[in-house]
Amino acid sequence: MEDPEHIPAINRTQPPAFVRETASPGESRALAFGIAAWLLPGLGHALQKMWGRALVVFFAVGLLVFAGASMKGNVFTRQGTDAFDKLGYIADMGTGCFYLFARSIETKGADVSHAGGDYGTRLLATAGVLNLLAALHAYEAARGHKA
């Protein structure tokens, strides 16, 4: 039988553990904005009425993807054989729906036999990483952090 004298006092300053572990509505909203920002560059900022940032992210990522694919850069696929291919695929997937745009431009495939194709590969990876950074920024802004 439990001694009533030794029952720990309820800590009223902290919510119960099951409440703390559940994501708050604000957190879920921020996560949704982050995912939206990844899927369509600039959407996460547009949903928060940050129009300037939304336009800049959309056109910056779009321009880099367009230039990279037009230069016949390598748009990596899931069937990568080595670690660099897989990292390239992750970076390219960072562009969200623009990945499909890049694939649609490069109908004849990549050509990295000349330097221009290699530069294009880098521009495509840069676009993906930039969009991931912008998505993280949109997520942090939605959480109320100074942005």
Partner 1 sequence: MTALPPLDLTHFQAFLLFAVVISVAFGFLGRRRPKDRVKYILWSLFLFLLVGIGVGWAMFPFSH
Give the binding-site size for partner 1 (rule: CB under 8 A).
28
- Is residue 93 packed enough to be buried (19+ CB in 10 Å), middle (13-18) or exposed (0-12)? middle
One-letter amino acid for residue 128 of the chain: G
User: Looking at beta carbons only, is 34 or 120 nearer to partner 1?
Assistant: 120
Number of H helices, E strands in the chain: 7, 0
Shortest distance, CB of residue 137 to partner 1, whole angstroms?
A: 5
- Is residue 147 packed enough to be buried (19+ CB in 10 Å), middle (13-18) or exposed (0-12)? middle
How far is residue 138's CA from residue 133's CA, in Å, rounded to a whole number? 9
User: Looking at beta carbons only, is 85 or 140 nearer to partner 1?
Assistant: 140
User: Looking at beta carbons only, is 89 or 138 nearer to partner 1?
Assistant: 138
How far is residue 53's CA from residue 21's CA, in Å, rounded to a whole number? 32
Q: Which stretch binds partner 1 (CB under 8 A): 8-16, 18-26, 32-40, 111-119?
A: 111-119
Binding to partner 1 in span 40-99, by CB under 8 A? 52-53, 56-57, 60, 63-64, 67, 70-72
How far is residue 46's CA from residue 101's CA, in Å, rounded to a whole number? 21
Residue numbers of the site for partner 1 (CB under 8 A)?
52-53, 56-57, 60, 63-64, 67, 70-72, 104-105, 107-108, 111, 115-116, 119-120, 122-123, 126, 130, 133-134, 137, 147
